[in-house]
Structure 1
Amino acid sequence: MAASILLLLSALILLSSVSSPVNSLSLNYYDQTCPNAESAITNAVKKGMMNDKTVAAALLRMHFHDCFIRGCDASVLLNSTGNNKAEKDGPPNISLHAFYVIDNAKKEVEALCPGVVSCADILALAARDAVAMSGGPTWDVPKGRKDGRISKATDTRQLPAPTFNISQLQKSFSQRGLSMDDLVALSGSHTLGFSHCSSFQNRIHNFDTTHDLDPSMQPSFAASLRIVCPMHNKVKQAGAALDSSPTTFDNMYYKLLLQGKSLFSSDQALLTTARTKALVAKFASSQEEFEKAFVKSMIKMSSIAGGQEVRLDCRVVR
């Protein structure tokens, strides 16, 4: 109970700083215009997760990838057209899935209040629900985002890559108004999900001129990854879970990171500065501290402005 109160207070405190010239967000944005929107979205996420355990990680990743390009404007949901290849078809986003969950939520919300709730707000709320339904914290999501009209696959080059070092990560996050503390907290989303071999191949084969394996990896862990991801892997779906409890939102990611059992170079990079390493250790030792920081950083990230309208179809600009 105390932890829930702390999370709510942190959300309310942070809300005072989540306005922008483009979007002004508020906790009660739909109270008068669509009071049942959140419950409809929650039900859609619940149905999706009942049928597919990977939905939670998919929705959280989708929201992150949306916000890091042009702000949180649901541009990641748009389909490619004859003369434009959209974000969802850019290389880093090819593995995104569970778009149907957002489609179903939008359909339900449109039935309640046509043309009122943005796809961007639906995605932000769905990501929150995905975390909560995976055993993580819940929080009040500031609302009032608008949907964008532009989605380009080439813009996905702006997404932080799993091969990034700490300097590259810091630059990527700071360009979006996010701090190193936010970087460590949001990296905790890697407690959910699965990665294909291509995202960590650089650490287990031909790491550098001296080492075939990344020496920062725990040897037996690296050896197990080489079995499922051989040098000339031909199994497109091959890969590994991001941590040992990939459908539960917990702090296991940080515990494994300290043991040399993380997948990405960008994960290992968090141990290369005193500040970020101290935060990793803090979150590894306290689920409550991790959740409190994660909620604060999620609200901050999901409030990056973008968009101008409310789309009636999350996949199409009309």
Structure 2
Amino acid sequence: MTKLQLFSRQQVVVAGLILLILVTALIGLGIGSFPVSYDRLIPTITGHGTFEDRFVLFSVRLPRMLITLLSGMALALSGAILQGITRNELADPGIVGINAGAGVGVTVFFLFAPIKVGSFAYAIPLMAFAGGLGTAILIYAFSYARGKGLQPIRLILTGAGLSMALSGIMIVLMSSVDRTKVDFISKWLAGNVWGTDWPFVLALLPWLVILIPYALYKSRALNLLALNEPTAIGAGVAIHRDRILLLLAAVALAASAVSVTGGIAFIGLMAPHIARALVGPGHQRMVPVSLLIGGWLLLLADTIGRNVWEPEGIAAGIVIAFIGAPYFLYLILFKDE
């Protein structure tokens, strides 16, 4: 397939995904504990609806949907970067332990900081980043072999081991605090979208505004790193610097997302794979498609989860797990056949 054909295919796929996102968002805006009939949606969006409809749309559903869309994009991009720099198609911020590290950062901050939940919207992504970064440094250190470079299989095993260890640390921390805080952390671990107000949208948005263009700028380096180190070095890529900077970007994206949506895995695994199947492995084409797929997947999962079991709903992370676990098994068992 020529570059022109791939570009045309990407345009069609992007248009289709944008349409899917808009349709899912439209459905999600209308349904819920307080349904808004679809003939009132447009008047309400344009400022002519009732106070109740405006409150439901603009104060409850719209910020939540933007949070899930942006978080899904961040997780998908994080997964695409990790798979590129590690040359491992099973790399995902949840599977390799970055989400668990971010979770420890959030848990420590929430349990011991003398501050209320609603007032740390801008600080909690930073704490999640600190926890995720510490975990990423440990994973990188244990997975790197002098003279051989980063070992993809060792990275997955190290990440899985650290993830279990960090989950144990969170359980120990939770055992020493009051029940209210434990309930919140338990829901967070299940992937319950809790940051649903506009301040959380504003807290998450800058990370994506900065890091999406950076990832696109580094598409060529990602393409070369995904091949092998000698090829990347021969093409003039500063592999150690670029790999560290891209790893920091992946950690920041995953940490910012899970800090407001909880421990959600598999999106960073699935979205890049589906994108590669649709438009090919080139990161300049795959990354935009992966972003849209990740955003749509989490938006769809949250829309299903909050409506399938009223009034509490099912955590979006659980819905994603129902989809992602079979896909993960498919990748392990049948991908190379």
TM-score by length of 2: 0.27
Of structures 1 and 2, the one with the larger relative CO (CA 8 A, separation 6+) is: 2
Structure with greater helix percent: 2
